[in-house]
């Protein structure tokens, strides 16, 4: 196991990239590009994990997550929000088959029975809704789990889920506000392109679920994320981009020139600190208004859809005004 917990999350990430380039095992892969691979790499953080060493499109990450949490599996919904990096995997019917969203919200039904337009059938098992119910009604449970790896549906998926297993845990704290933590296991982690957006997806998921499950009589806040990459790999054609990133992010640039320099640190260089990101005032006010005026019944767990639909329809769910970064770094996507 390779555990990175010292410093804030970008230090963990930069060191993992450098180690993968230096110590990763050269290996062939499905795409034919070639990789270097590390096994069982794990990170932990709190807050919103948005890299500063290269520019990320944070609104796109929010849109992609909400697309999944709403149970959507179509390309058109993503394109309408400016998300274009899924285009390479779309099926002839304009969907991706029963991938992330279908498994989160409609687990257990054969692919030919799925409603790709986002409608839900009562016989389908809604993992997200059930987890939210448990967080409020049975918070100390160790069974608040969502699994996206459904062997029955793998052949119908355009791309099998990379992040497959989620577990929420609620812990008591000294100040009376319960803390919600999220543990994620990922079978395959594209270290340079995919993982930075996975950091964001899990961060936003925890924030959204914590806000939805917060109750006046049982206050709840987002806690930590524990993220395990079972196969953490860099593609051979990403080496140059990774070297550029390490030069941009580390305060020890001369060491970044040699990718074997393990122990790279990212501290307050040029003001780089962990990103501060808030729910926008518009979203918080709209959600509070819906609940306070009876539009939302806090005990009706079907209304997670109302909460997510509000998030999807509010242009700025999160306030990213505190985010700044080094320039975008282009790298090819292995298909």
pLDDT tens for 11-70 read 889 889 988 988 999 999 888 889 999 999 999 998 889 998 899 999 999 999 999 999
Which pLDDT band, with edges at 50, 70 and 90, does 265 fall under? Answer: low
Q: At a CB cut-off of 8 Å and minimum separation 6, what does 310 contact?
A: 283, 286, 287, 290
Q: 202 or 281, which is more confident?
A: 202
Contacts by 166-172, CB closer than 8 A, 24 or more apart: 166/131, 166/205, 168/131, 168/134, 168/135, 168/144, 168/209, 169/142, 169/144, 170/135, 170/139, 170/140, 170/144, 170/220, 171/223
Q: What is the pLDDT of residue 276?
A: 60
Q: Kindly report the backbone phi and psi dihedral angles of residue 140, in degrees, each rounded to the nearest multiple of 5, phi listed first.
A: -90, 5
Does 113 qualify as catalytic in the annotation?
Answer: no
CA angle, corner 55, sides to 162 and 223, nearest 5? Answer: 60
Radius of gyration of the chain (CA): 20
Q: What is the pLDDT of residue 29?
A: 85
Q: Residue range 240-257: average pLDDT?
A: 72
Q: What is the pLDDT of residue 11?
A: 82
Q: What is the pLDDT of residue 266?
A: 54
- The span from the CA of 333 to the CA of 229, in Å, is 19
Pairing of strands 178-186, 220-235: parallel
Q: What is the pLDDT of residue 15?
A: 86
The end-to-end CA distance of the chain, in Å, is 28
Q: 189 or 250, which is more confident?
A: 189
Q: What is the pLDDT of residue 26?
A: 94
Among candidate residues 20, 113, 132, 162, the one labeled active-site is 162
Which pLDDT band, with edges at 50, 70 and 90, does 84 fall under? Answer: confident
Q: Is the dihedral of CA 314, 320, 321, 325 positive or negative?
A: negative
Q: Residue range 111-135: average pLDDT?
A: 71
Nearest to 132 by CA among 201, 210, 202: 210
Q: 182 or 33, which is more confident?
A: 182
pLDDT above 80 (res 113):
no
Q: What is the pLDDT of residue 5?
A: 46
Q: Residue range 313-319: average pLDDT?
A: 88
pLDDT tens for 269-308 read 444 445 567 889 889 888 888 877 666 655 565 589 989 9
pLDDT above 60 (res 112):
no
Q: What is the pLDDT of residue 52?
A: 87
Query: Mean pLDDT score of the chain, rounded to an integer?
Result: 85
Q: Kindly report the backbone phi and psi dihedral angles of residue 106, in degrees, each rounded to the nearest multiple of 5, phi listed first.
A: -140, 45
């Amino acid at each position: 196991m390779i555990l990175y917990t010292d410093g804030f999350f970008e230090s963990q990430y930069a060191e993992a990239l450098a180690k993968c380039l230096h110590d990763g095992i050269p290996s062939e892969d499905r795409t034919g590009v070639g990789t270097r691979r590390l096994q069982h790499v794990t990170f932990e953080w709190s807050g919103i994990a948005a890299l500063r060493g290269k520019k990320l499109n944070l609104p796109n990450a929010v849109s992609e997550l909400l697309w999944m949490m709403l149970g959507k599996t179509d390309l058109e919904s993503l394109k309408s929000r400016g998300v274009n990096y899924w285009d390479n995997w779309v099926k002839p019917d304009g969907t991706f088959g029963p991938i992330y969203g279908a498994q989160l919200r409609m687990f257990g039904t054969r692919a030919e029975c799925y409603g790709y337009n986002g409608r839900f059938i009562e016989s389908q098992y809604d993992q997200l809704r059930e987890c939210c119910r448990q967080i409020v009604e049975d918070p100390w449970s160790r069974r608040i789990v969502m699994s996206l790896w459904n062997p029955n549906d793998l052949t119908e998926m355009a791309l099998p889920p990379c992040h497959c297993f989620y577990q929420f845990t609620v812990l008591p704290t000294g100040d009376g506000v319960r803390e919600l933590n999220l543990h994620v296991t990922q079978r395959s982690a594209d270290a340079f392109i995919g993982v930075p957006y996975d950091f964001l997806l899990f961060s936003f998921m925890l924030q959204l679920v914590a806000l939805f499950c917060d109750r006046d009589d049982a206050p709840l806040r987002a806690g930590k994320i524990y993220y395990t990459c079972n196969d953490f790999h860099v593609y051979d054609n990403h080496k140059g981009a990774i070297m550029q990133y390490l030069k941009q992010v580390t305060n020890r640039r001369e060491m970044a020139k040699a990718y074997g320099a393990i122990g790279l640190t990212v501290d307050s260089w040029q003001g780089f600190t962990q990103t501060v990101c808030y729910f926008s005032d518009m979203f918080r006010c709209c959600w509070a208004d819906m609940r306070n005026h009876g539009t939302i019944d806090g005990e009706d767990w079907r209304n997670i859809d109302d909460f997510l639909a509000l998030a999807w329809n509010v242009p700025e769910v999160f306030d990213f005004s505190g985010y700044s970064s080094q320039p975008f770094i282009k790298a090819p996507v292995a298909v």
